[in-house]
Amino acid sequence: MLLELFNSFYTKNYPDDMEQCIDSFAVFGGFDGNINLDIELEKLIEIHILEKYEKHFKYISALTQNDTNTKNLLKAIALGDRRIDSAFKKARLSNFKGNRSLDFLCNNGIIELEHSREKKAQKQYPKQQLKREISRHKISHKLRFKVPFLRFWFYFIEPYHKDIVDGNFKSALDFYKQHHQAFSGYIFEELSNLLLIKTYENTIVNSGSYWDRNVEIDILALSENMQIIVGECKWKNHKVNKKELHKLEDKCQKLGINPDLRVLFSKRGFSNELENIKDDGLKLYKAEDFKILLTDNTQSGISLL
């Protein structure tokens, strides 16, 4: 669905470059209507969202059946680490109420599950006593919005409902200025995963983020011949340097894997030191490379984890 939305957004709005496309897609992906990308993004948010708040509020209230628990859960997912347990806690919902809201959101195509690939710790011998933090550790799946605009709404708009209703847009816009890089970075990560799949679509059997209690990797993929691919995604206003490659390699060491291919995705490209590395096991992708996603919006039978 995300790939189709990305293609649709580009076809409607024809942004000047992929950096602009990704940044604006993080806000307006799935938004009903065309936007003029010659206008700066903050002004577009004011024109199309804040000044038309009542219209959007009515739509989202209908979408969520105006249920307070459901709205609080969506806000918790948008602003938190996306883990189910922490989202329930952040939304102050019991497991019963949280699961009821979550079922509604999944059944209505608003949220989808991202299953953890962490394996439960196993005893090496029958009488082994696992450390308390290991034995008590609970594997938690994550949740993701299916439509970027809805994530934007519950990240930046819903928390400032009272101010916006009173005509005060400053708080919401200031919060966007402070956090838009990290916010767009998550969409960049999702699109990077799609780009990897598109590039290696004849070989990759599953791909997605990986997390456990010790480490998180933006992308961990497995090919049909059991090759391991790892990737990190950086949506920053500077070039990525070799330090990020070392961080990725350190994560792999913690996870106990030896990847066959390391992939870095960067908003602003890479340092000369990285560009000059001659290594078939390293691939570098910058924002403009994401044009590959616009050539074809069909997907093969690959499992997105």
Supply the pLDDT for residue 303.
36
Supply the pLDDT for residue 32.
83
Edge-to-edge strand ranges of the sheet holding 303-304: 282-286, 261-266, 228-234, 216-223, 204-211, 303-304
- Quote the mean pLDDT of the chain: 90
Question: What is the mean predicted confidence (pLDDT) over 78-91?
Answer: 96
- Residue range 22-46, pLDDT digits in tens: 999 999 999 987 899 999 999 999 9
Short-list 117, 112, 82, CA closest to 228: 117
Rounded CA-CA distance 201/194 in Å is: 10
Rounded CA-CA distance 250/39 in Å is: 42
Element (H, E) at 80: none
In this structure, the number of other CB atoms found within 10 A of the CB of residue 119 comes to: 8
| Lowest mean pLDDT segment, chosen from 54-63, 140-149, 183-192, 198-207 | 198-207
Supply the pLDDT for residue 105.
97
- DSSP H helices, the chain, are 2-13, 18-28, 41-45, 53-63, 68-79, 84-90, 95-107, 132-135, 148-152, 161-165, 170-199, 242-255, 272-275
If you write DSSP's letter for every residue of 182-242 in order, what string do you get? HHHHHHHHHHHHHHHHHHTTTTEEEEEEEE-SS-EEEEEEEETT--EEEEEEE--SS-B-H
Supply the pLDDT for residue 299.
42
Is 3.40.50.2000 the CATH number for 190-304? no
Judge whether residue 95 has pLDDT over 50: yes
Q: Per-domain residue ranges for the chain?
A: 2-188, 190-304
| Lowest mean pLDDT segment, chosen from 1-10, 125-134, 184-193, 278-287 | 125-134
Asked whether 70 and 101 are in contact (CB, 8 A), the reply is yes
In this structure, the number of other CB atoms found within 10 A of the CB of residue 175 comes to: 16
Supply the pLDDT for residue 33.
79
Return the percentage of the chain with pLDDT > 90, whole number: 80
Enumerate residues 6+ apart whose C-beta is below 8 A from 190: 2, 144
Q: How many residues are present in the chain? A: 305
14-40 core/surface letters (b: 16 or more CB in 10 A; e: else):
ebeebbebbbbbbbbbbbeeebebeee
- Residue range 186-214, pLDDT digits in tens: 999 999 999 999 998 778 888 999 998 88
- Residue range 148-175, pLDDT digits in tens: 999 999 999 999 999 999 999 999 999 9
Short-list 155, 173, 171, 153, CA closest to 163: 171
